[in-house]
């Protein structure tokens, strides 16, 4: 079968669907800026939504923030290429939500702070706070351009329009509503965009399953093609994805993304109570699990559809990240407007991640970098105006950086491992503060710097070895026997060594470079804590007692119980 016979492109109906999503997003920003009862002209309103946000919009906003276009295009490609082991990241999601809701979030809620990095100043000092803020801003400035670039590439593929034209237009819309409407506009546009995202995924999933021949046929073809692979219990940490690397590694990377992330803390503190914030986290986890599962199943559907004619080998697409839009254009003939809905869904994921990033970065820049250095306090009106200017400036920088990302090539695939350079140290520093009363500012600072340097070295070194072809990971078998007869090419299947079959690198370079990227955040966190505690002990520990509000309720209860026991023993000994 010649798969390209059914291939269609964007038509007028698709453009209308896509434009409608952008127009609705803009109108929400205009509404909160000019027509809402409470205007966005105070710091509390602009960054925290006046602390009156409802559970539903905040939950939808968080789901949208954590599922980007990278996830929607990248997860199906991962399942198509490497099998279903990645699906097991769901095993750690529930545990992350419990850790966050009961160990980390109560601390921020008690302190009622606008920037999560204010905590580092209260617990340690201004220098540690500055380190935390810079790590966060670095992470977001690396992340947002990639988040924008990936869906722009998909849009370019299904429309033929140059991505350099579409990127500025879409980003201007995002900067526009984020600047005007503050957190409330971001949250409500995220809500609309999350619904669009879910709708697009469900429609494409149903149509794709029907096209293949039903759920049973999708599973049968995937099983025959070796894609069903959930329980690889090999403990070897160099295996790219095993049950352990995926579940343990994802626990720490998700904990870093959720529990201490400015975007998360900012939204949870916009809730009227800690109880409603915890309900929001529960909905977030359920939503993420549903979307990740849909993306994973989508990978199986795409494999089942092309199981006799792999588009990557054939050269129809350049890399597996483009498989999803390519598949949508194939099945689009049966439903007008489907490509428009799909691209709206992918762009919705990107816009929500960008708007959340801009809003949270603005909060950090204003609260951590500008406010402490201004001698004369700004009025609420001046502060609100200044924050709007910051959104425009950093938004424009992110748009410019998209053109740099395009030249990065292989580094786009490295988003996860590059993100760990900042995620590990940050989780380590916050954990030191909340769980180790002995930790002092010197320990936190040196621990964070050592951790960042270590993960940076491992991550960048590994990426360089991958680009050089020294580290390669085996892909599952693909077939081209069903491709059209008029397509003639010499197909060379990869002969994998027994070592490669196990999921290990074909050539073994420096030991740390072979470590699964899923463990980077764990290694960074442990390094920051261990170095931080050792340095703290060597420099005299903590001279003054840490206030209970700065400690996690989990550790505070433990310390109080031990103190009570000690006091009881003292009384008995005295008697």
Query: Tens digit of pLDDT for each residue in 491-530?
Result: 444 333 334 444 454 556 777 888 888 888 999 999 999 9
Which has the minimum average pLDDT: 17-21, 102-106, 291-295, 351-355? 351-355
In a domain, 212, yes or no: yes
211 to each of 207, 214, 306, 330, 540, how far by Cα in Å? 6, 7, 11, 10, 68
Nearest to 226 by CA among 501, 572, 429, 524: 501
| Alpha carbons 140 and 263: distance in angstroms, whole number | 11
**Per-residue pLDDT averaged across 258-271, rounded?**
80
**Per-residue pLDDT averaged across 293-299, rounded?**
92
| Alpha carbons 162 and 175: distance in angstroms, whole number | 21
Q: How far is CA 466 from the centre of its chain?
A: 23
| Alpha carbons 75 and 292: distance in angstroms, whole number | 8
pLDDT of 77 reads 87
In a domain, 194, yes or no: yes
Question: Between vectors from CA 353 to CA 349 and to CA 357, what angle results, nearest 5°?
Answer: 170
Q: How far is CA 155 from the centre of its chain?
A: 21
CA dihedral 139, 142, 148, 151 (to 10 degrees): -90
| Alpha carbons 447 and 528: distance in angstroms, whole number | 4
pLDDT of 6 reads 55
Structural domain of residue 146, as residue ranges? 12-413
Residues 6 or more apart whose CB falls under 8 angstroms from that of 553 comprise 102, 103, 106, 107
| Alpha carbons 462 and 136: distance in angstroms, whole number | 22
In a domain, 110, yes or no: yes
pLDDT of 479 strictly over 70: no
In a domain, 274, yes or no: yes
In a domain, 268, yes or no: yes
pLDDT of 536 reads 94
Tokens for 16?
């209308």
More confident residue, 176 or 409: 176
- What are the residue ranges of helices labelled H in 317-468? 323-331, 338-364, 380-408, 415-435, 441-468
Radius of gyration of the chain (CA): 25
The number of beta carbons lying within 10 Å of the beta carbon of residue 530 is: 15
| Alpha carbons 442 and 388: distance in angstroms, whole number | 35
Could you tell me the pLDDT band of residue 248, with boundaries at 50, 70 and 90?
A: very high
φ, ψ at 134 (rounded to 5°): -65, -40
pLDDT of 546 reads 84
Tokens for 58?
């905040």
Could you tell me the pLDDT band of residue 372, with boundaries at 50, 70 and 90?
A: confident
CA dihedral 396, 397, 403, 408 (to 10 degrees): -150
In a domain, 255, yes or no: yes
The answer to whether the beta carbons of residues 198 and 291 sit under 8 Å apart is: yes
The number of beta carbons lying within 10 Å of the beta carbon of residue 511 is: 9
pLDDT of 490 reads 41
pLDDT of 565 reads 62
| Alpha carbons 519 and 44: distance in angstroms, whole number | 37
Tokens 């924008």 locate to: 148
HSE-CB at 146 with a 13 A cutoff on CA atoms is 21
CATH number of the structural domain spanning residue 391 = 1.20.1730.10
pLDDT of 425 reads 93
In a domain, 38, yes or no: yes
**Per-residue pLDDT averaged across 223-236, rounded?**
86
DSSP 8-class letter at 239: S
2-26, pLDDT tens digit by residue?
Answer: 445 455 667 788 888 888 888 888 8
| Alpha carbons 24 and 538: distance in angstroms, whole number | 58
pLDDT of 501 reads 42
| Alpha carbons 207 and 297: distance in angstroms, whole number | 13
**Per-residue pLDDT averaged across 211-233, rounded?**
89
> 3-state SS of the chain: helix, strand, coil percent to 5?
75, 0, 25
pLDDT of 496 reads 37
Which has the minimum average pLDDT: 39-53, 227-241, 283-297, 389-403? 39-53
Helix (H, G, I), strand (E, B) or coil at 34: helix
The answer to whether the beta carbons of residues 197 and 49 sit under 8 Å apart is: no
The answer to whether the beta carbons of residues 504 and 245 sit under 8 Å apart is: no
Tokens for 476?
């599952």
pLDDT of 505 reads 45
| Alpha carbons 262 and 260: distance in angstroms, whole number | 6
Helices (H) and strands (E) in the chain, counts: 22, 0
31-56, pLDDT tens digit by residue?
Answer: 877 776 665 555 655 555 545 667 88
DSSP 8-class letter at 5: G
Could you tell me the pLDDT band of residue 487, with boundaries at 50, 70 and 90?
A: very low
| Alpha carbons 142 and 463: distance in angstroms, whole number | 16
pLDDT of 310 reads 82
pLDDT of 572 reads 52
| Alpha carbons 332 and 339: distance in angstroms, whole number | 6
332 to each of 10, 188, 207, 208, how far by Cα in Å? 9, 29, 9, 10
**326, exposed or middle or buried, with CB in 10 Å at 0-12, 13-18, 19+?**
buried
| Alpha carbons 215 and 475: distance in angstroms, whole number | 24
pLDDT of 489 reads 43
Count up the domains in the chain and report the number. Answer: 1
Packed helices 323-331 and 126-159: angle between N→C axes, nearest 10 degrees: 40
Tokens 């520990």 locate to: 541
Nearest to 35 by CA among 236, 180, 160: 180
In a domain, 516, yes or no: no
Which has the minimum average pLDDT: 211-215, 292-296, 369-373? 369-373
398-447, pLDDT tens digit by residue?
Answer: 888 887 776 654 444 456 666 778 889 999 999 999 999 999 999 999 99
pLDDT of 415 reads 62
The answer to whether the beta carbons of residues 63 and 288 sit under 8 Å apart is: yes
529-557, pLDDT tens digit by residue?
Answer: 999 999 999 998 887 788 888 998 888 77
55-88, pLDDT tens digit by residue?
Answer: 888 888 888 777 777 788 888 988 888 888 888 8
């Amino acid at each position: 079968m010649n798969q390209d016979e059914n291939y269609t492109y964007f038509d007028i109906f698709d453009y209308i669907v896509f434009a409608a999503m952008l127009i609705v997003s803009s109108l929400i920003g205009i509404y909160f800026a000019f027509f809402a009862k409470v205007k966005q002209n105070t710091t509390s309103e602009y960054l925290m939504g006046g602390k009156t946000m409802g559970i539903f919009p905040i939950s939808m906003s968080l789901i949208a923030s954590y599922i980007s276009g990278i996830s929607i295009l990248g997860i199906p490609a991962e399942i198509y290429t490497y099998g279903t082991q990645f699906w097991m990241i769901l095993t750690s999601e529930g545990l992350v939500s419990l850790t966050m809701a009961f160990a980390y979030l109560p601390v921020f809620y008690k302190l009622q702070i606008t920037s999560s990095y204010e905590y580092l100043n209260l617990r340690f000092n201004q220098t540690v706070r500055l380190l935390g803020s810079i790590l966060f801003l670095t992470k977001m400035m690396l992340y947002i351009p990639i988040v924008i670039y990936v869906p722009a590439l998909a849009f370019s593929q299904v429309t033929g329009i140059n991505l350099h034209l579409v990127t500025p237009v879409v980003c201007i819309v995002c900067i526009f509503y984020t600047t005007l409407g503050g957190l409330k506009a971001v949250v409500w546009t995220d809500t609309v965009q999350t619904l669009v995202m879910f709708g697009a995924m469900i429609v494409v999933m149903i149509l794709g399953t029907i096209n293949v021949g039903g759920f049973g046929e999708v599973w049968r073809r995937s099983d025959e093609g070796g894609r069903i692979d959930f329980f690889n219990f090999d403990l070897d940490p160099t295996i790219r994805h095993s049950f352990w690397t995926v579940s343990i590694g994802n626990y720490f990377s998700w904990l870093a993304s959720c529990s201490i992330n400015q975007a998360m803390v900012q939204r949870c503190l916009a809730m009227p109570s800690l109880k409603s914030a915890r309900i929001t986290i529960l909905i977030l986890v359920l939503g993420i699990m549903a979307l990740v599962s849909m993306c994973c199943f989508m990978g199986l559907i795409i494999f089942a559809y092309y199981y006799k004619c792999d588009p990557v080998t054939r050269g129809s697409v350049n890399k597996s990240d483009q498989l999803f839009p390519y598949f949508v254009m194939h099945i689009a003939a049966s439903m007008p407007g489907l490509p428009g809905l799909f691209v709206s869904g992918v762009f919705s994921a990107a816009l929500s991640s960008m708007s959340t990033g801009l809003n949270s970065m603005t909060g950090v820049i204003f609260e951590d970098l500008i406010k402490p250095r201004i001698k004369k306090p700004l009025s609420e009106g001046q502060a609100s105006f200044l924050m709007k200017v910051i959104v425009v400036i950093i938004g424009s920088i992110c748009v410019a950086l998209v053109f740099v990302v395009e030249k990065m090539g292989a580094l786009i695939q490295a988003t996860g491992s590059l993100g760990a350079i900042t995620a590990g140290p940050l989780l380590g520093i916050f954990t030191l503060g909340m769980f180790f009363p002995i930790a002092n500012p010197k320990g936190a600072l040196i621990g964070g710097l050592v951790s960042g340097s270590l993960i940076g070295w491992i991550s960048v070194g590994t990426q360089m070895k991958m680009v050089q072809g020294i580290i390669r990971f085996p892909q599952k078998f693909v077939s081209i026997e069903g491709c059209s007869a008029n397509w003639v090419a010499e197909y060379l299947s990869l002969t994998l060594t027994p070592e490669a079959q196990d999921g290990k690198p074909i050539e073994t370079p420096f030991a740390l470079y072979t470590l699964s990227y899923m463990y980077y955040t764990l290694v960074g966190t442990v390094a920051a804590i261990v170095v931080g505690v050792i340095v703290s002990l060597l420099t005299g520990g903590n001279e003054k007692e840490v206030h209970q509000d700065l400690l996690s309720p989990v550790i505070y209860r433990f310390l109080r119980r031990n103190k009570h026991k000690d006091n009881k023993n003292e009384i008995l000994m005295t008697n």
